[in-house]
Chains A and B, each alone.
Chain A
Amino acid sequence: MTNSQNNSSVVDPRGPKPRKIMSRRNIILYGTLLVVAIYYLIPLYVMIVTSLKGMPEIRLGNIFSPPVEVTFEPWIKAWAQACTGLNCDGLSRGFWNSVKITIPSVFVSIAIASINGYALANWRFKGANLFFTILIFGAFIPYQIMIYPLVILLRDLGIYTKLPGLILIHSIFGMPILTLLFRNYFTTIPEELFKAARVDGAKFWGIYFRVMMPMSLPIFVVAIIMQVTGIWNDFLFGVIYTKPDTYPMTVQLNNIVNSVQGVKEYNVNMAATLLTGLVPLTVYFVSGKLFVKGITAGAVKG
């Protein structure tokens, strides 16, 4: 686009105009992108590098220099020995708590939200849109205003500070965005299929399990990706609705790193941070485009 000097040529060249690889435009474009990409990658690099160094090396060198002596000691320490308060069994407890929270929460919230979305898309009843609008508004309301009544609710149910309580909370607060996701997807499924199933005598649940669910596996995968990363990364609900024994990984990580007692071991801290980020990062890199689809599908129509 920038070089338009050859408009005086008499013989028309055929085919698309060849582009110079090292044109000014390309240098600016890829140069900018590369610089920004490096900026984005630096924190990850620093995390990895720091977690592989020993403490003496950290004190002497700078944070960007690669480790002279690679050691996995900090990783082992972060996993099995790092202290939060009186407990010194490392992040492993938080990790297993997070697993115990995430798996049922993902399952429950997706089951509920998909059925809600299905009812909203195909079996709309009077007043359904009102509830749905309230639900979507609820996604924007600051959680802080609903925290304490929910503490009371969980206490009355006897699951406050227990894992089922947190699972319930995640199912509730995951509902708006997931319901929107499923509703929007189910409305794109041709209505003829739904009608055909009805003619064949299928009822509400029959159509859901035999027609809708098998046809919408991609959106289920997207929802699983969204929920796994979302719930794993949650901090606010974890710190409110659990106690030290049941702290999820993010809360425990924050307690380990920001604890005031003892000598700060930066390499252990960074190893712990990386360990916590590892699960969502794995999900992100494995899922690739589905992750993008999930976050944009939830947002663009909301």
Chain B
Amino acid sequence: MFNKVQLERFFVGSVMLAFVSLVLSIVGIKSQLFQNIQYLLLFISSVIVLLIGIQSKSINFFSNRLQKQILGWLISAICSAAIWAFAQKGIQSIFPAIMGYRKAWNTLEPFALYATVVFIMFALMLIIIGARDTKIDRPGYIERFLVYNLSSKIAAMPMIFTSIGIFIIATLWTIYHSFTNSRMLPKSDFIGLGQYERLWSSDRWYMSIENLAIYGVCSLIFSLFIGFMLAALLDQKTRFENTFRTIFLYPFALSFIVTGLVWQWILNPDYGVEKIIRSLGFDSFVFNPLYNADIVIYGILAAGLWQGTGFIMCLMLAGLRGVDQEIWKATRIDGIPMWKTYIQVVIPMMRPVFVTTLVIIAAGIIKVYDLVVAQTSGGPGISSEVPAKYVYDYMFSAQNLGQGFAASTMMLVSVLIVLIPFAYLEFGRRKYD
């Protein structure tokens, strides 16, 4: 009627089901639903045990795998049952000493309920999935999941926790709450797209977007251009290459705060560049980017470029070194001038480097925050606001969480617009490494 492995699954499943119903009846569940399930489970497990009893000759109850499975499931059953029992009143009357802890463990009750549900689901899955593998007679998915390569899975727990628990769940949480009317504290009071309407009708947000667009486009173009030029200059078998590279790259080791403060000082109209040029005789010279609302973002751009271009140069230099050196000999023999070789041969060959660099710059631009805070604090007025600062201010200063969530969701959307085509181009065609 059944083959050996199927019966094994049934046996394990029925042991577990019987155990669950036993626990449920001992603990005594008040809910109507659970009382019915309890009888159902008891019935099913007794049928299965009966079935196995009829065919018991064909099962080796002491096979290694079966023992392992039963042991594992018993342990998990006992654990979840213990947690459950701890939170229940019935067991407290048997052991009065537990009563005192009851209050502290009140919070565990939902968890215990959850654990039991998961446990029952697992029991069902083991029967269903386990049975699927009977044709080739190998352990089911769950057993493979729990036993094979276990230490690797344990070691990767932080990564799994971070990728699922933080990156996915936290992102979804924020997106979910961006549709609510949260103010001081997050709450589930849905107002639809209200926060987004407010966001897109706010001058400050428009200013932030505009600034980010100017900063982004300019820093993309300039840092790619300057970075590539510097890398090309350093790639001419230049002497003192290391010295020059060290000089170009050192700002990258500094924080945006330090960068912002230095440039704030250099661009200071009372003491900085403006004063020096004026003292040379040009009395009407005006150069005060940080105090002029129209051009303040370019003052920030100057600092940003000073900090980041060295890094782009390094990436480009690595890319240039990756280009086959024979190319140079070939083009020299053909008498092609150097600049033409760069434009027509080398740059097309470096396409992957350019794409990666582009994504890195783009991902960095959207995060611009520290630089603005240090250099201008968003001033004068709101003329140098950026989205990241908008989010921070609404979340932590203005106590308007909903706005912050909506703005950060918009930031995510803009990143995805850049990232998804890139991911498609890079990883869509070939399998990820």
* Chain A residues at the B interface, C-beta cutoff of 8 Å: 1, 29-30, 32-33, 36-37, 39-44, 46-47, 50, 58-59, 62-64, 112, 115-116, 118-120, 123-125, 128-129, 131-135, 137-150, 152, 172, 175, 179, 203-205, 229, 232-236, 239-240, 250, 253-254, 257-258, 266, 269-270, 273, 276-277, 280-281, 283-285, 288-289, 291-292, 295-296, 299-300, 302
- The residue on B at minimum CB distance from A112 is B158
For B271, list chain A residues within 8 Å (CB).
58-59, 62-63, 266
Is A276's CB under 8 angstroms from B276's CB?
no
* Chain B residues at the A interface, C-beta cutoff of 8 Å: 148-149, 151-153, 155-156, 158-160, 162-164, 166-171, 173-175, 186, 230, 233-234, 236, 238, 242, 244-259, 261-266, 268, 271-272, 275-276, 279, 306, 310-311, 314-315, 318-319, 332, 338, 353, 356-357, 359-360, 363, 366-367, 369-370, 373-374, 377, 387-388, 391-392, 395-396, 401, 404-405, 407-409, 411-412, 415, 419, 423, 427, 432
Is A280's CB under 8 angstroms from B408's CB?
no
For A204, list chain B residues within 8 Å (CB).
151-152, 155
Besides A140-B363, A266-B271, 13 more A-B contacts (Cβ < 8 Å) are A32-B233, A37-B244, A40-B250, A123-B151, A125-B152, A135-B159, A135-B162, A140-B359, A144-B404, A146-B171, A147-B408, A292-B249, A296-B314
A300 and B318 contact, Cβ closer than 8 Å, known pairs A33-B238, A125-B153, A295-B311: yes
Shortest A281–chain B CB gap in Å is 6
A-B pairs with beta carbons under 8 Å apart, 8 shown: A36-B248, A40-B247, A62-B276, A115-B155, A134-B167, A146-B174, A254-B373, A277-B258
Docked CA distance A149–B405 (Å): 10
Is B155's CB under 8 angstroms from A148's CB?
no
- The residue on B at minimum CB distance from A135 is B163
Is B167's CB under 8 angstroms from A135's CB?
yes
Is A148's CB under 8 angstroms from B401's CB?
yes
Shortest A290–chain B CB gap in Å is 12
Docked CA distance A43–B151 (Å): 51
Is A148's CB under 8 angstroms from B156's CB?
no
Is A142's CB under 8 angstroms from B408's CB?
yes
- The residue on A at minimum CB distance from B359 is A140
For A205, list chain B residues within 8 Å (CB).
151
Question: Closest 10 A-B residue pairs measured CB to CB?
Answer: A233-B255, A123-B152, A138-B167, A284-B253, A204-B151, A149-B170, A134-B163, A144-B408, A235-B370, A145-B408
A119 and B272 contact, Cβ closer than 8 Å, known pairs A40-B248, A232-B255, A281-B253: no
Docked CA distance A277–B261 (Å): 11
Complex partner residue of B256 from A32, A50, A235, CB under 8 angstroms: A235
A116 and B156 contact, Cβ closer than 8 Å, known pairs A40-B306, A296-B315: yes
Docked CA distance A33–B238 (Å): 10
Is B159's CB under 8 angstroms from A116's CB?
yes
- The residue on A at minimum CB distance from B182 is A148
Is B266's CB under 8 angstroms from A63's CB?
yes
Is B246's CB under 8 angstroms from A288's CB?
yes
Docked CA distance A234–B258 (Å): 11
Docked CA distance A62–B258 (Å): 21
A1 and B338 contact, Cβ closer than 8 Å, known pairs A125-B153, A292-B245: yes
- The residue on A at minimum CB distance from B414 is A142
Complex partner residue of B159 from A123, A131, A137, CB under 8 angstroms: A131
Shortest A285–chain B CB gap in Å is 7
Docked CA distance A85–B433 (Å): 52
For B275, list chain A residues within 8 Å (CB).
62-63
Complex partner residue of A134 from B168, B244, B395, CB under 8 angstroms: B168
- The residue on B at minimum CB distance from A208 is B155
For A40, list chain B residues within 8 Å (CB).
247-248, 250-251, 306, 310
Is A129's CB under 8 angstroms from B167's CB?
no
Is B170's CB under 8 angstroms from A145's CB?
yes
Docked CA distance A232–B174 (Å): 28
A63 and B265 contact, Cβ closer than 8 Å, known pairs A235-B373, A258-B377, A276-B258: yes
Is B247's CB under 8 angstroms from A254's CB?
no
Is A203's CB under 8 angstroms from B151's CB?
yes
A266 and B265 contact, Cβ closer than 8 Å, known pairs A112-B158, A146-B171, A292-B245: yes
For A59, list chain B residues within 8 Å (CB).
271
Complex partner residue of A295 from B230, B250, B252, B259, CB under 8 angstroms: B252
Shortest B391–chain A CB gap in Å is 4
Is B276's CB under 8 angstroms from A63's CB?
yes
For A302, list chain B residues within 8 Å (CB).
356, 360
Is A142's CB under 8 angstroms from B395's CB?
no
Shortest A61–chain B CB gap in Å is 9
Complex partner residue of B158 from A143, A175, A233, CB under 8 angstroms: A175
For A32, list chain B residues within 8 Å (CB).
233
Complex partner residue of B306 from A43, A140, A144, CB under 8 angstroms: A43
- The residue on B at minimum CB distance from A252 is B257
- The residue on A at minimum CB distance from B141 is A126
Docked CA distance A137–B359 (Å): 12
Docked CA distance A162–B423 (Å): 37
Docked CA distance A235–B412 (Å): 20
Docked CA distance A140–B416 (Å): 9
Is A144's CB under 8 angstroms from B388's CB?
yes
Complex partner residue of B236 from A29, A258, A291, CB under 8 angstroms: A29
Is A43's CB under 8 angstroms from B156's CB?
no
For B166, list chain A residues within 8 Å (CB).
138, 146, 149-150, 172
A46 and B411 contact, Cβ closer than 8 Å, known pairs A63-B276, A300-B356: no
Is B171's CB under 8 angstroms from A141's CB?
yes
Docked CA distance A112–B319 (Å): 30
A140 and B419 contact, Cβ closer than 8 Å, known pairs A112-B158, A232-B255, A302-B356: yes
Docked CA distance A291–B158 (Å): 26
Complex partner residue of A233 from B152, B156, B163, B256, CB under 8 angstroms: B256
For B419, list chain A residues within 8 Å (CB).
137, 140
Complex partner residue of A236 from B158, B173, B370, CB under 8 angstroms: B370
Is B369's CB under 8 angstroms from A236's CB?
yes
For A119, list chain B residues within 8 Å (CB).
152-153, 155-156, 159
